[in-house]
Amino acid sequence: MTPVRFRDLLAAEWIKLWSLRSTRWLLGLGTLAIVAFAVQSSLDAYNGWPGFTAMEKARFNPLTEAFSGLTATMLMIGGGSVGALTIVGEYATGLIRTTLTAVPARHHVVAAKLTVVGAVMLVTGALVSAATFGVSQAIMSGRGIAVPPGDPGVLRVLAANALLAPVSALVGTGIGALVRHTAAAVVTVCAALVIVPTFFQPTVHQWLNDLYALVPFYVWRTCLGLPQLRDDPALPTVAGSWTVFALWPLAAAVLTFLVVHRRDV
């Protein structure tokens, strides 16, 4: 039997990803909704700016009009759902049996799937981050309060915003491989990535702060998503936050490899 080339597996996973209607709906409408929300939020700030108090103007952060906690939630749920449905859909339709019959080397199949999902969601996240920043700052410039990409912390925020999508998607793939049920996988993704972390707040107990600092949404909200970091030892550090962003998809990839390798189809 002629060995299957990895690029052929990538092509097959690309076709399978876009054959899912959920992929097109989630990425297409989701991206438009997020950009539309950034436009609306920026217009509200633009129109309300003359009525802001001096303190409100001093504390105003134009980046929050581009990408807020709600926007991040939408992106993480969408990305995580795409990742979960990519693998759950294959098990639900029975296509996984055909795939693994044609390519018995399961780790190659998983590697190709993770590569395609991660790459597609990285591009999606980058487009969302750039688009929301661009439209919001174009609106804010009318009041002279826009921030350029070169301002301190802005590029870090834009990169963190973009990476929320692939991180969530790969975590969703791991959850989907483990759960193998569409509704349960999506609910688990939402709970793990967004719902539970929204209740986390800095406390006087450092061990709890250290625990919270292991969650992607929490470290984005309290560190990576802020252009100016708050001087608080209870909050995550930039280096630690980037480490969390790297370890979650890595752990999810290992989980996906182990589950697909050990469990029957």
Q: Which amino acid is at 183?
A: A
Residues 6 or more apart whose CB falls under 8 angstroms from that of 219 comprise 213, 236, 240, 241, 244, 245
Query: pLDDT tens across 94-124, in order?
Result: 888 888 888 888 889 999 999 999 999 999 9
Place 25 in a pLDDT band, splitting at 50, 70 and 90.
Answer: confident
In the chain, % of residues over pLDDT 70: 98
pLDDT above 70 for 265:
no
Can you give the residue ranges of every domain in the chain? Answer: 6-262
- Minimum mean pLDDT range among 112-116, 201-205, 227-231, 235-239: 201-205
**183 or 200: which carries more pLDDT confidence?**
183
Portion of the chain with pLDDT greater than 90, in percent: 60
Alpha-carbon distance of 160 to 224, in angstroms, equals: 6
- Token pair recorded at residue 265: 């189809």
Q: Confidence class of residue 200 from pLDDT cuts 50, 70 and 90?
A: confident
> Distance between CA atoms of 189 and 2, rounded to whole angstroms?
38
DSSP 8-state code for residue 199: G
What's the pLDDT score for residue 2? Answer: 56
What pLDDT is attached to residue 212? 87
Q: What is the pLDDT of residues 42-100, one digit of tens each?
A: 999 999 999 988 898 888 888 888 899 999 999 999 999 999 999 998 888 888 888 88
- The C-alpha atoms of residue 186 and residue 77 are separated, in whole angstroms, by 8
